[in-house]
Structure formats: structure tokens, C-alpha cells
Amino acid sequence: MTYNSLIDIKNLSEDNFFRLLECADKMSKGLLPVKHHSKTVANLFYENSTRTLVSFELAAKRLGLCCTSLAMNNSSEAKGEVFLDTIQTLGAMSIDAFVIRHRQENLIIEAEKALPQYGFINAGNGMHAHPSQALLDIFTITQHVADYPKYHNLKIVIVGDVKHSRVANSFIEALKKLGVMDIRICAPSYFQPREKLEGVAIDISLARALEDADIVYNLRVQKERFDSNEQLDFDDYIDQYQLSNEKLQNIHPKAIIMHPGPINRGIEITSEVADGPRSKILKQVENGVYMRMAILDWVLTPYT
């Protein structure tokens, strides 16, 4: 049996990208697919997680799948077992698909190549990719802007720590697949992308970047990913880049604010914005379950 895998957005075909959006929409309306009664999914999270782990668990359960989650700091890898052996050991217990979050970027890529008998879903690999987050974000955008051709004209501004963000990488890839033409990053020089990104404008001025923006996508300062030589003057960052109602005055009147969470209130975003009428942060969390149901359904639907 060969399953599908979701490692990053770049390698997801356009057909499958739009199919996942359609399927998440059906899930959100309670239209469940035929259940995969006999299939089993394992969530292996080697990094902290709240929303991603729980939403993958709930998505599996709502599809009627058998699901197990392992906190990997309690696993046998602490005893020296290598990653591929862990996968094969668990696979021997008839697991069909693995949802994996790991600090090392290459492990899930190697596992997908070495063990094609399993489906793999990347729930975040280092600073590389977080495709399920990008898909749920795009689903949230399509709910807000229901009219398809309008996507091309959206102005989307990503504000914050892009440098350490796997979410930004996947989100940008997904926006391009959706056909968005105006994608901007607004960040100080020390938070700009590590590599040049085709088709993405970069601005250090928040006031200029936000003018007429339709979607403002805010990122957390990911301090746990800083190198030992990286430091941040928080007061200066807050002063220049924290999203507040005052700084958002010139965005489009119907604009929305998004954030993948977890939010650091008072750092990259004020509470008045995070909890305000334009915030879609909890909608993103809700949609995360529907999108992960769609992803699991697609991964476990074998090629014909």
C-alpha cells in the first residue's frame, strides 16, 4: 500500500493543493468522507506544540482513525535509538502514517524516501517548512475572500521574525499557488529571510508596508531559534514593529489580522489587536482541525 505524504508546499501539486482546500471546506460543513476505520496514525512531536498536536489528534479521531501521540522526550531515542529505527519499530505495530515535528530539517525528508510504505506529514521541520499551517491559513483566507479571482489582487504583508520562521516559508509558497501577486515581508534587517525569495518584496518600514494591506500576517519572535550571537532589543522591536491599533490605521477597512500562534502578547502584537474584531487567530485554530482532517484523509487515500 502506498500512501501520500505532505512534506512541503513546493512539492504539492496544484491539483492536490486546491483539492485539500475543497476538502477542508467540506469538513467544516460536517460532510465527512468514508471513514478509514482500520488505519492508524502516530503523532511524533520532538518539539513543543499545543494547537498543532491537538488538532492533528482531534482530526484523526473525528475521521474515525486510531491515533496515538508520543511525547518524544520520553521515547527510546533518549536511549540512543536512531530516528529511522523508531519509525520502523512503530511501523511494525501497523501504523499507516506519521505526523512528525522535529528540529532537524532533513529527518522527515530522509524517512519519506527510505520508508515509502508509510505516509508522512510534516508538522514542522526546523526552520524549513510547516505545510499544514500554511494550508489552514490559506483556507482561512479563502473563507474571508470568497470570490476566487480576487486572490490575485490581495496585498498580503507578513510582519515579524521571518528569519526563523518555517511558517513564513510555507505560507509564501502557498500564497503563490493561490495566485497572490502582492506578497510583502516587513521586518527589520535582523529578521529578514535567510535566502532571497522570488516574487516577494521586502520593506523595513511598517507604516509603508501596511498601507492598504488586505491581510496582515504576524509572526512570533522565535527566540528559541536564535543563534548564540543573536540578540534582540525588545523595546526597540516593540516600538517599531509591534502591531497595535495605532500602527494599523492605514490598512484596508476590511483587512484581517492573522497569526499562527502561539502569540506573545505585548511583544509582536497588542492584546487589543489580538482580541479585536479583525483578528482571525482563533478562526485559524478552528480551521486547523478541518484542514488536518482533509490532509489525513488525502494521505491515507492510497493511489489508485
From 36, 130, 184, 247, residue interacting with ligand NCD (rule: CB under 6 A): 130
Per-residue mark of binding to ligand NCD, 154-193 (x: CB under 6 A) = ------------xx--------------------------
Q: SS3 of 44, please?
A: strand
Whether 128 and 14 have beta carbons less than 8 Å apart is answered as no
How far is 127 from 124, CA to CA, in rounded Å?
8
Helices (H), the chain: 14-28, 51-62, 83-91, 106-114, 131-144, 166-178, 206-210, 234-241, 271-274, 281-299
What value, to the nearest 5°, has the Cα angle with vertex 95 and ends 109 and 127? 30
- Tell me how far CA of residue 185 lies from CA of 14, 112, 255, in angstroms: 24, 31, 16
97 or 167: CB nearest ligand NCD: 167
Determine the residue with CB nearest ligand NCD. 220
Whether the CA torsion 291, 294, 296, 299 is positive or negative: it is negative
292 binds ligand NCD (CB under 6 A): no
Q: Please, which of residues 132-161 interact with ligand NCD by CB under 6 A? A: 133
Residue with smaller CB distance to ligand NCD, 167 or 206: 167
Beta carbons of 53 and 71 less than 8 angstroms apart: no
Count Cβ atoms within 10 A of the Cβ of residue 91 and give its class: 0-12 exposed, 13-18 middle, 19 or more buried: middle
- Of 222, 242, 270, 287, the one binding ligand NCD by CB under 6 A: 222
Cβ proximity to ligand NCD, 130 vs 177, nearer residue: 130
128 neighbors 102 (Cβ within 8 angstroms)? no
Place of cell 515581508: 185
- State the nearest-atom distance from the C-beta of 271 to ligand NCD, in Å: 17
Cα–Cα dist 302/119, whole Å? 10
Q: Is 122 in the site for ligand NCD (CB under 6 A)?
A: no
Q: Please name which of 13, 37, 7, 174 lies closest in space to residue 98, comparing C-alpha atoms.
A: 7
Least distance in Å: CB of 190 to ligand NCD?
17
- For ligand NCD, the closer of residues 46 and 151 by Cβ is 46
Q: Does 55 bind ligand NCD (CB under 6 A)?
A: no
Which residues inside 243-282 make contact with ligand NCD, applying CB under 6 A? Answer: 260-261
C-alpha cell at 90: 512503530
Among 4, 43, 52, 170, binds ligand NCD (CB under 6 A): 52
Q: Which of 124, 187, 216, 287 binds ligand NCD (CB under 6 A)?
A: 124
Decide if residue 131 touches ligand NCD (CB under 6 A).
no
Question: How many residues form the binding site for ligand NCD (CB under 6 A)?
Answer: 11
Binding residue for ligand NCD, selected from 26, 51, 61, 283, defined by CB under 6 A? 51
Q: Sign of dihedral through CA atoms 55, 59, 64, 70?
A: negative
Tell me whether residue 12 or residue 96 sits nearer to ligand NCD (CB atom): 12
Q: Is 26 in the site for ligand NCD (CB under 6 A)?
A: no
Q: Does 220 bind ligand NCD (CB under 6 A)?
A: yes
Minimum CB–partner distance for residue 218 and ligand NCD (Å): 10
Which residues sit at the interface with ligand NCD, rule CB under 6 A?
51-52, 124, 130, 133, 166-167, 220, 222, 260-261
